């Protein structure tokens, strides 16, 4: 069965995003900043749960299950997340409804907006005294150190896997109508990448910003190294493993490619 309506919805979403950035960049950037803020406060909660429940055999399960709340907040609030846009814009550009140049521009602006949101939340947590009140061996700090001390290939592949899962969650949520069903899909699927320890560039922005403003433990260069390869992996995972394959297996009705009907 060809699921063309999902593709059309993805294309329309990509077109709307590109049009908004072109005609009202301030509003688009604000949506990207808000998405970075939403995800970052959930990131901090994830690390706090990891720390608070470290003696429980279910600690990692609970923390990983909670993380899907971040993507749920972004989807239901209609804000802009770089990683899900890797899927949307790949589909709309492959269909010729947006240009690849416009896609690269949107990805760049969204990435920077998400980063700004992550820094804002880190600054707010610093101002509240939260980052400096936790111990240097808190899960936030040890988790960040583990992330930056991986090799480039490991970070890249984990980035591919992370956004394959995230974009799959978004794609599946598009197939259901009720909000409660969307929430269930997003939380359950996103759980996979957190529990398995994959690399999500925007989540890492929040983690690294908090660590560098708190007790430290990682350098700017180490954080940039991780973000570079995690971002490239996220693009590959969202565009090449979800966006383009889903578009290919759900062709237009007038597509005469053998085997696609």
pLDDT tens per residue, range 19-78: 999 999 999 999 999 999 999 999 999 999 999 999 999 999 999 999 999 999 999 999
Residue 255 lies in a domain: no
Q: What's residue 255's pLDDT? A: 60
Separation between Cα atoms, residue 114 and residue 261, nearest integer Å: 39
The total number of structural domains in the chain stands at 1
Q: How many CB atoms lie within 10 A of CB 180?
A: 8
pLDDT of residue 1: 45
Q: Contact 135/51 with Cβ under 8 angstroms?
A: no
pLDDT at residue 258 in the model: 42
Would 258 be classed as within a structural domain? no
Contact 166, 190 (CB under 8 A): yes
Does any domain span residue 173? yes
Coil vs helix vs strand at 126: helix
The rounded percent of the chain whose pLDDT value lies above 90 is 89
183 belongs to a structural domain: yes
Domain housing 113: 4-249
């Amino acid at each position: 069965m060809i699921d063309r309506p999902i593709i059309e919805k993805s294309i329309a979403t990509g077109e709307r995003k590109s049009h908004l950035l072109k005609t009202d960049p301030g509003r688009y950037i604000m949506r990207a900043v808000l998405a970075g803020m939403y995800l970052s406060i959930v990131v901090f909660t994830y690390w706090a749960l990891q720390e608070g429940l470290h003696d429980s055999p279910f600690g990692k399960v609970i923390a990983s299950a909670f993380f899907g709340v971040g993507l749920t907040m972004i989807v239901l609030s209609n804000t802009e997340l770089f990683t899900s846009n890797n899927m949307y814009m790949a589909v709309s550009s492959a269909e010729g409804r947006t240009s690849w140049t416009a896609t690269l521009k949107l990805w760049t602006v969204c990435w920077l907006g998400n980063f700004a949101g992550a820094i804002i939340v880190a600054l707010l947590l610093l101002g509240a005294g939260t980052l400096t009140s936790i111990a240097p061996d808190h899960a936030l700090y040890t988790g960040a150190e583990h992330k930056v001390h991986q090799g480039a290939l490991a970070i890249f592949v984990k980035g591919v896997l992370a956004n394959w899962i995230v974009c799959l969650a978004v794609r599946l949520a598009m197939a259901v109508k009720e909000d409660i069903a969307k929430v269930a899909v997003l939380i359950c699927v996103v759980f996979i990448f957190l529990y398995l320890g994959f690399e999500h560039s925007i989540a890492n922005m929040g983690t690294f910003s908090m660590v560098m403003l708190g007790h430290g433990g990682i350098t700017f260069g180490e954080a940039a190294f991780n973000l570079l390869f995690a971002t490239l992996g996220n693009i590959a995972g969202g565009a090449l493993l979800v966006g383009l394959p889903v578009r290919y297996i759900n062709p237009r009705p007038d597509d005469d490619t053998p085997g696609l009907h």
